[in-house]
Amino acid sequence: MQFIQEGSALLARRGGETLRIEPWGPDSLRVRAWMYDSRSDADWALTEMPEAAEAKIAIGEAVIRAGDGTSEKVPCAEIANGRIRATVNHAGVMTFYRDGKRILREYYRSYGGTLVQTSRCLKIVNREWKGLIGGSEYRLTVRFDANEGEKIYGMGQYQQPYLNLKGNVLELAQRNSQVTVPFLVSSLGYGMLWNNPAVGQVIFANNCTEWTARSTRQMDYWITAGENPKEILRKYTSVTGRAPMFPEDRMGLWQCKLRYRTQEEVLSVARAYQKEGIKIDQIVIDFFHWTLQGDWKFDRKYWPDPKAMVDELHRMGIRVIVSVWPSVDRKSENFAPMMERGLLIRTERGAAQTYDYQGDCVEIDPFNPETREYVWEVCKRNYGDFGIDAFWLDNSEPDYGVYDFENYRYYAGPALSCSNMYPQMYSRIFWDQMSKTGEPVVNLLRCGWAGSQKYGNVLWSGDVPSTFESFREQLQAGLNMGLAGIPWWTTDIGGFMTDDVKDPDFRQLLIRWYQFAVYSAVLRMHGDRGPYNIPPLDDRDWGGGYLHTGQDNELWSYGEENYRIMRKYYDVRISMHDYIRDLYQEAHENGSPLIRTMFYEFPEDVRCWELQDQYMFGSRYLVAPVLHLNEFERDVYLPAGTWKNVNTGETIPGGQTIRAAAPIEEIPVFEKCF
């Protein structure tokens, strides 16, 4: 192993591989490795200039002993930056320390007191480069020893019931309702970003942690040490970016359904809310308001005067957001020019088709700057010039007809090498232009990646079922998204897919989900509400009239008693406006999420690291959502201190688990008494 100091970076070379470790902000290191000349200068998620940090590098020798009692001197090196230190042994194996205590070590074994690389017998190496036949990329696997008792959080959004990800296998790929944001927070006091947008996998097993990128030219990750999760997230968002300040005029209720089919329907709903004395901050015009996918314009048969509609909504103080999909139908007026200019995703084999819902479509390639310019110009002309305020960038994974990633290629390279960054590039079609105006940018997306928080993205949890099981999973998803640096996160209240809006079990779910949403970043009504017995507006097989719509989804659509409860909690949301504004300010300043795991606020409380069915809404409110059907009381753990039950006014000492009442009209919430 050859060690070299290059400025503030430590380089190690062995067997054609170059390893580079350098300071990247306080108490943080960026670690890269490549084979031969395959180094990439891409920063990927590390877009922000890191704070200056001075590393201490030492290159020397270590003595190792063989089983026969003999010994030899071998080269070794270390680099330290504040609280974090990394050592590299003669075989290129790295070990990381926080304040002198080991927190992470590459896959390594000790035999008879002799430190040797595992490959001497098992032939399993710490960094495995497997060349892809016929290409310049590699399949890369990076292995670490597992830490006994470690808990791992973050990593984005996965539809599963686990908050602690230890023992989980996670696909590193974007899908509808799955959002890969490869940043983790460890209970051992460190955070790690897998700074690679390649499709792959991570395994947090009890015997090994294993990261895989299926097609890449370089290993790249960033690791930081911190006193607590809040400090770790602050450091992470300082190098990947933080959310802008959320506008105050969108902190209340967003109204949406599948789907408002006409201009008059949108206006009638807005007028009805105004008559009820309920201020909605934003109304959402969902999909197939257009003529064809990829036309990106209103069907004038049903939307005859979009500007007049928007003007009236603006006079009511309502912002307007429209759905834009990345799919382009072959019949679209934009298909031929975009295909001719290479602005669409390329398939490696078979037909040029990537998406087949309601059309024969190919999706756009936002990695291509010409694509971003083309799509923006069309959307500005057909939406922005009418006064549309924001865009719902749906299907932003993108939603492939078949998730066969090796069959797709982008301007930036094979989809296998960079597809996880697609939703972020899609969002930048709009962010890059809208942010120039100086007005706040708040667009709604179904997917994102590390750093998406800086591009004005509200992420929602996708098309999830309307079940209590799914509801429980969304809580885990939202908490882990927050720990992955995404503070603007929401769900479809009541879930997306409902068979019967009159089912009393569904209506109970809806109320419980709505109560939870009041104590989250964005309060947004949406859902595909069955039964599907509403006839189409016309018999065309295209345009705004032919596709089905769901049942009504306004606050008053579910009976008088449910409306009373939802109206009550609407008022609660409005009463918290100043508090919610302060939470958004905190997210902007230090990266803190609005909904937080219990250990985020109480890291010294061991019990809080085990809880996943309650959370903190900021630092003041402990929220215990009701997550099961016909559950009207539940256990709530109150950390040390004094707490006030907001439903009863009762003051309760902390450090104990209590049994809290939870009638259908109440969600257990406790305010911390400072």
Reduce the secondary structure of 533-569 to three states and give it as a string. CCCCCCCCCCCCCCCCCCCCCCHHHHCHHHHHHHHHH
Evaluate if residue 116 carries a pLDDT over 70. no
- The whole-number pLDDT of residue 674 equals 81
Whole-angstrom Cα distance, residue 413 to residue 139?
15
Kindly state which CATH superfamily the domain 597-673 is placed in. Answer: Golgi alpha-mannosidase II (2.60.40.1180)
Fold for the domain defined by 2-240: Immunoglobulin-like (2.60.40)
Q: What's the pLDDT score for residue 71?
A: 79
Q: 377 an active-site residue? A: no
Catalytic annotation on 610?
A: no
How confident is the model over 405-436, as pLDDT tens digits? 999 999 999 999 999 999 999 999 999 999 99
Rounded mean pLDDT of the chain? 96
**HEC secondary structure over 272-324:** HHHHHCCCEEEEEECCCCECCCCCCCECCCCCCCHHHHHHHHHHCCCEEEEEE
Locate tokens 């799914």: which residue? 470
> pLDDT at position 124, please?
86
Banded model confidence at residue 109, pLDDT cuts 50, 70, 90:
low
- Whether 248-590 and 597-673 share one fold: the answer is no
The pLDDT score that the predictor gives to residue 119 is: 44
The stretch 246-270 carries a mean pLDDT of 97
What is the average pLDDT across 455-465? Answer: 98
Catalytic residue among 106, 281, 463, 613: 463
DSSP 367: T
Q: What is the mean pLDDT of residues 120-130?
A: 85
Q: Calculate mean pLDDT across residues 302-315.
A: 98
% of the chain exceeding 90 in pLDDT: 93
Nearest Cα to 186, choosing from 129, 224, 219, 141?
A: 224
Measure the CA–CA gap between 294 and 327, rounded to whole angstroms.
Answer: 6
Give dist(CA 344, CA 326) in Å, integer.
9
Summarize the confidence of residues 527-535 as an average pLDDT: 95
- Residue ranges covered by each domain of the chain: 2-240, 248-590, 597-673
User: Average pLDDT of 462-488?
Assistant: 98
C-alpha distance from residue 502 to each of 272, 566, 581, 619 (Å): 22, 16, 36, 37
Buried b (16+ CB within 10 A) or exposed e, 249-263: ebbbbbbbbbbbbbb
pLDDT value at 283 more than 90: yes
CA distances 232 to 27, 186, 191, 617, Å, are: 10, 9, 6, 19
What is the Cα–Cα distance from 198 to 194, expressed in whole angstroms? Answer: 10
Q: Which CATH architecture has domain 248-590?
A: Alpha-Beta Barrel (3.20)
Is residue 336 very low, low, confident or very high in pLDDT (cuts 50, 70, 90)? very high
Of the candidates 106, 394, 492, 666, the residue annotated as catalytic is 394
Residue range 542-563: average pLDDT? 95
- Is 463 one of the annotated active-site residues of the chain? yes
Whole-number Å distance between alpha carbons of 454 and 264: 35
DSSP track, 425-488: HHHHHHHHHHGGGSS---EEES---TTGGGGTEEEE--S-BSSHHHHHHHHHHHHHHHHTT---
pLDDT > 70? residue 628: yes
Q: What is the pLDDT of residue 112?
A: 37
Please check the confidence at residue 223 and state whether its pLDDT lies above 50. Answer: yes
Q: Is the pTM of this model over 0.95?
A: yes
pLDDT tens, residue by residue, 634-650: 999 999 999 999 999 99
Q: Which of 220, 231, 363, 397 is catalytic?
A: 397
- Residue 435 CA, chain-centre distance (Å), reads 21
Confidence label for 37 from pLDDT (cuts 50, 70 and 90): confident
Helix (H, G, I), strand (E, B) or coil at 391: strand
Torsion, CA 300, CA 303, CA 304, CA 310, rounded to 10: -130
pLDDT score recorded for residue 68: 66
Max distance between CA atoms of the chain, in angstroms, equals 89
Is the confidence at residue 114, as pLDDT, over 80? Answer: no
**pLDDT exceeds cutoff 90 at 569:** yes
pLDDT beyond 50 at 113: no
At 148, list the tokens: 């006994």
